[in-house]
Structure 1
Amino acid sequence: MTTYYVDPANGNNSNSGTSLNDAFEDLMPVEVDGKVNLQAGDVVKVRDTAVMYPPSKPTWWQTSGTADNPIVIEAYENESPIIDCSKYDGTHGLDLLGTQHMVFRGLEIRNAGKNAVRCNGTDGQDARECLFEDLHIHHYGQNSQWAGNGIIFYGKSFDHVVRNVVAHHGSTGGGSDGFYVGGSSGAGRGGGHRYENCVAYLNADDGFDFYDADPKHPNVMVNCVAHHNGHDGMGTTGDGNGFKVGGPDFETGNNVLKRCVAYKNDERGFNTNGARVPNEFYNCTSWDNGSYGYHFSGSADNVVRNCASFDNDKSDVESLWNADSAYNSWDLGISNPEFETTDPSSDNFLRPKDSSPLVDAGTDVGLDYAGDAPDLGAIRSEDSINTSEPEPTSPTAALKFNDGTQHVSPVGVRYYDGSQWVATSLKVMMDGGFVEAFGKVPYDGSSTDGSTSDGSTTDDSTSDGSTSGGSTTILEDFTNGLGNYVGDVSSFSIVSAPSVRGNAGLLYDKTGSDKLILRDSPSTTVVQDTTYRANIYAHSGGNYGKVYFFANGSSWSDVSGYAIEYDTNKTVSPQFKLLRLDNGSLTVLDEVSVSPKLEEWMDVEFTPKSDGSIVARLYDASGSEVASVSANDTTYTSGTYGFGCNNPKVSFDYLREV
């Protein structure tokens, strides 16, 4: 039994991997056909010193531990390693084929072209009894017509445990689910999986989808949540079920759901979807879904006890003739549940008040309860629900941002890895009394929500990853698309990579003359005596990118205001310019020659002052100042911001006040 170490920043795959000082760089040495043939009891510990960008999909073929000595791939100590799959577009994130008794724990997996985690059987060996625990999986299915799930168990894949896993932002409309179990007559069908404390949201199809699962191997879901499924937030749409536990093409069903919650999904909260074998629902809650709370289609008498359903758009329950229904809110004629709150950001979300008719209204189904009888629904009157992340198993601090109407979570916490901003987890360092987020910031246990008066979000990071001591107001990270822009909007697109914050960046990838977009609403006025920063990514073969301020107009031909131009074409000189535009006519106020750096995020900073001076600076990915330009000009003192390009290919992201 050997422990191996992976250190993306300091390791090398020519090392032995058996110590922190002799670590591997990525997972390639411990994959199939790697230099290490993992054996039962071996452990691979992955550090978070930098984002890991595997050059090809990490694959394990018929790799097997034992029940007593599994093979473990996990985060080192309390670190939060990130595996970014964007370097090998169009394929799976982690590919597990015929694996048995493996553990994957504490990892963040993002930007997979197809499935983030695929665990299939092979002709030679079933996949069996693997554990997936404390994983954050997101932004998958971006380059696939069908396969785009968070975790998929397909074919002869049996008896896995998925615990404390969040799966969100699946972009394949026809088949992007948070968690999927399926198969075919050729590949076979599996099941027998157990999901505990898992959350699925913003998946373009369904949250949990067991369309082709084998009813001979029942799947069990306990304390799981599905919300806002049916769209990915970027325009891709699909079925929109929270929990889909059947399919009409095979004999399906026989799944068990206990204390699960479905809310604000585009269509149904819980859908049996033509299942021919009864499913069982105990103490589940469906609220505010786009059509039905529960839809019992098919030919099975689904067992439903102690469940609650309210405020769904079409009806709270449909096709009740396919259900053995008793002690549910609709059976008892309860119309007002008297929830403490329907605010998902609250710890009391969907929790019944003490006076609620849901309290003590159920029957004993073998689940724990307090009082004279079980309550109806997933959340007992003494409980609360976590709607965004798995329940933490160690001390945790939480941040919430204001989205303009309410404080919401989760919030992305990011650090600078030397070339770009990347997401990480928020951790409490109990020995030092610090919250580790953008460096170590003193934390005394008090609450600071980071919101500004206008609902925008703030952080304390600077371009080099240190903390500035002040706050940063994020004006644009493109997660809400381009609906608030005017100009040549169709010439730009929102892409998941490259991006600085989260998984949305602005890309200009057209051939032709100058194009621009200007922010139209809301609250977009650039303010004097304020410093702004934006990131520009110079793709190979691109020409230039512009960041506009104090701008007015709707196209290149009529725009007035100022712009900072960074020329990414090495044959153009000077490359860094401060410009004034007068109804489309261009005047160079100052310029300087620099050597453009391709395929890396640069930082453009500008400060328009009330005395008429304008200063702009260019920083490289390490945070070092590369160039500066300045001028005195008072022609324009008000207007919005925007972005412009000429010829492909230039990216922008993360405009903020600093």
Structure 2
Amino acid sequence: MKILASLVFSAAIVVAGAPVAASSPAAGKTYYVAPSGSDSAAGTQAAPWASVAHAQAVAQAGDTVYLRGGTYGYSRANKACASGTDRVDAITLNKSGSSGNPIRYWAYPGETPVFDFSRVSDNCRIKGFDVTGDYIHLKGLEVKGVPQNNNLNHESWGIWVSGSNNTFELLNLHNNMGPGLFIQDGGGNLVLDSDSHDNYDPRTSNGAGESADGFGAHISAGHPGNVFRGCRAWWNSDDGFDLINAFSSVTIENSWAWRNGYLPETTTSSGNGNGFKMGGYGGKYVSNGAKHTIRNSVAFNNKAAGFYANHHTLANDYFDNTGYNNHPDFNMLGINSAGAAVGLGNLRNNLAYQGTLTSNMSGTNASYNSWNLGVTLSDAQFRSVSTSGWDAARQSDGSLPVLPHLRLAAGSTLIDKGTDVGLPYTGKAPDLGAFES
């Protein structure tokens, strides 16, 4: 396997080029919250609080709040809707930690706290978690069921982020009526080893299923350094990862997207259905667009493209990725300053197999990809081409499971056929695709 980011950085996490110590509780106070707790209790392990809101009122930079296993059910937001298009929060995290001393809201080891928002009845847009603070670390939480209770809006959100330098680790986001996690603004946020799946928005102003992505980042200019690493998105009714309207650079690495664009757990068509939608500004040219990067990632069996430029206005970097049985695997549709459709993208060491391989490649900077090299592709080039089991349990350190699927077989002619783009590799040259043999 290629020396993937989740392993390379097991001792250190890198955000925007600066190393940050790997997650472990620093010196600070420790508090506890449990579904059976009381906010009038002491907040100790023996006498836990009941709510994250109360924990935030007490916690300071460097403190850790352990969330015990069980279901935390919500039936209303923390304020009333001012209108049918208002936005309200079930949980607001607006108190910041500091550099090196985040406020940690972590699952208690070996337990799963489940935040179930399916009974929230407020008649406007709902955020399960609204993270407006900085230097906050959420780890090991399950977030599900955030509803959209009218059809006046596009979607609601499992977790909405507008703060900076936050970490979202080992999250399981599912069955929300909108994106599982959405970075609206802020820079330096890291989404690490998290899953977002089975999200579907039946009640939206732009059509059922058209807005429930797995992950989204639509940030404004001046907020670089947002990273998705080791994440998976599947069976979301719209796209797996969506960077439309992102005016600051985003990096996606070592991530997988499959079966997006369908009603969850079916093959019934729904929204757009791209695995990785790498930007764009609503089909219009903008002069201040941002360049994004995706590397060491896999897209397969998505309704539309595996990797899609989406009318982006400048060339993104697509390095060491695998597209399998998408329609097409790589679609580099861009737009120039005159508003004309052009191919835009820097592509190296990518592998496209089955489905439709490529579209809109004319004008791109593409070389050392499987379709450039004249190599013959067949199932025999791979250890397995199975599309089952990609949602298997993660490894004990939270990294992606090691599967044989879409990894090159011994003796494959795709081994050592790439070119050095600054990513780790073994042998004479990089292999093609997301996994190094």
Q: Cα distance, 1:224 vs. partner?
A: 0.3
> Are 2:403 and 1:373 aligned?
no
Equivalent in 292, 306, 330 of residue 371 of structure 2: 330
> Are 2:186 and 1:157 aligned?
yes
> Are 2:325 and 1:285 aligned?
no
Equivalent in 112, 127, 130 of residue 146 of structure 2: 112
Letter in 1 for 2:308: N
Instruction: Specify the alignment match of 1:316 in structure 2.
Output: 357
Post-superposition Cα deviations, 1:27-66, rounded to whole Å, max 9, x if no partner, equal: 23134xxxx2432112110001x31113434433542111
Letter in 1 for 2:71: V
Q: With CA pairs under 8 Å and 6+ residues apart, which has the higher RCO, 1 or 2? A: 2
Aligned residues of 2:269 and 2:303 also touching (Cα < 8 A): no
Q: Cα distance, 1:236 vs. partner?
A: 6.8
Letter in 1 for 2:68: R
Please give the alpha-carbon distance, in whole angstroms, between the structure 1 residues aligned to 2:432 and 2:323. Answer: 11
Q: Cα distance, 1:380 vs. partner?
A: 2.0
Letter in 2 for 1:198: C
Partner secondary structure for residue 30 of structure 1: helix
Equivalent in 45, 70, 83 of residue 66 of structure 2: 45
> Are 2:115 and 1:83 aligned?
yes
Percent of aligned pairs sharing the same letter: 30
Please give the alpha-carbon distance, in whole angstroms, between the structure 1 residues aligned to 2:222 and 2:261. Answer: 25
Instruction: Specify the alignment match of 2:46 in structure 1.
Output: 21
Q: How does 1:115-154 map to 2 (within 5 A)?
A: 115-120=157-162, 127-141=163-177, 148-154=178-184
Instruction: Specify the alignment match of 2:74 in structure 1.
Output: 54
Please give the alpha-carbon distance, in whole angstroms, between the structure 2 residues aligned to 1:241 and 1:22. Answer: 47
Q: Cα distance, 1:344 vs. partner?
A: 2.6
Letter in 1 for 2:303: D
Equivalent in 294, 302, 307 of residue 265 of structure 1: 302
Q: Cα distance, 1:258 vs. partner?
A: 1.1
Letter in 2 for 1:179: F
Q: Cα distance, 1:92 vs. partner?
A: 1.6
Aligned residues of 2:296 and 2:320 also touching (Cα < 8 A): yes
Please give the alpha-carbon distance, in whole angstroms, between the structure 2 residues aligned to 1:364 and 1:183. Answer: 31
Instruction: Specify the alignment match of 1:229 in structure 2.
Output: 260
Higher strand residue share: 1
Letter in 2 for 1:167: S
Equivalent in 358, 375, 383 of residue 340 of structure 1: 383
Q: Are residues 4 and 322 of structure 1, via their aligned partners in 2, closer, same or farther at CA, if it must alter by over 3 Å?
A: farther
Partner secondary structure for residue 144 of structure 2: strand
Aligned residues of 1:181 and 1:190 also touching (Cα < 8 A): no
Q: Are residues 287 and 70 of structure 1, via their aligned partners in 2, closer, same or farther at CA, if it must alter by over 3 Å?
A: same
Q: How does 1:404-483 map to 2 (within 5 A)?
A: none
> Are 2:196 and 1:167 aligned?
yes
Q: Cα distance, 1:189 vs. partner?
A: 7.7
Q: How many corresponding residue pairs?
A: 352
Post-superposition Cα deviations, 1:553-573, rounded to whole Å, max 9, x if no partner, equal: xxxxxxxxxxxxxxxxxxxxx
Q: Cα distance, 1:174 vs. partner?
A: 1.6
Q: Are residues 189 and 268 of structure 1, via their aligned partners in 2, closer, same or farther at CA, if it must alter by over 3 Å?
A: farther
Aligned residues of 2:187 and 2:224 also touching (Cα < 8 A): yes
Aligned residues of 1:211 and 1:244 also touching (Cα < 8 A): yes
Please give the alpha-carbon distance, in whole angstroms, between the structure 2 residues aligned to 1:21 and 1:380. Answer: 48
Instruction: Specify the alignment match of 1:73 in structure 2.
Output: 105
The unaligned stretches of length 5 or more in structure 2 are: 1-27, 78-88, 148-155, 202-208, 337-342, 390-402
Letter in 2 for 1:153: I
> Are 2:42 and 1:5 aligned?
no
Please give the alpha-carbon distance, in whole angstroms, between the structure 1 residues aligned to 2:107 and 2:192. Answer: 15
TM-score by length of 1: 0.52
Please give the alpha-carbon distance, in whole angstroms, between the structure 1 residues aligned to 2:30 and 2:363. Answer: 53
Aligned residues of 1:192 and 1:218 also touching (Cα < 8 A): yes
Please give the alpha-carbon distance, in whole angstroms, between the structure 1 residues aligned to 2:382 and 2:358. Answer: 19
Equivalent in 197, 207, 219 of residue 240 of structure 2: 207
Letter in 2 for 1:8: P
Letter in 1 for 2:158: A
Aligned residues of 1:191 and 1:213 also touching (Cα < 8 A): no
Letter in 2 for 1:52: Y
Letter in 2 for 1:6: V
Q: CA RMSD in A?
A: 1.9
Q: Cα distance, 1:339 vs. partner?
A: 1.3
Please give the alpha-carbon distance, in whole angstroms, between the structure 1 residues aligned to 2:194 and 2:320. Answer: 21
Partner secondary structure for residue 126 of structure 2: coil
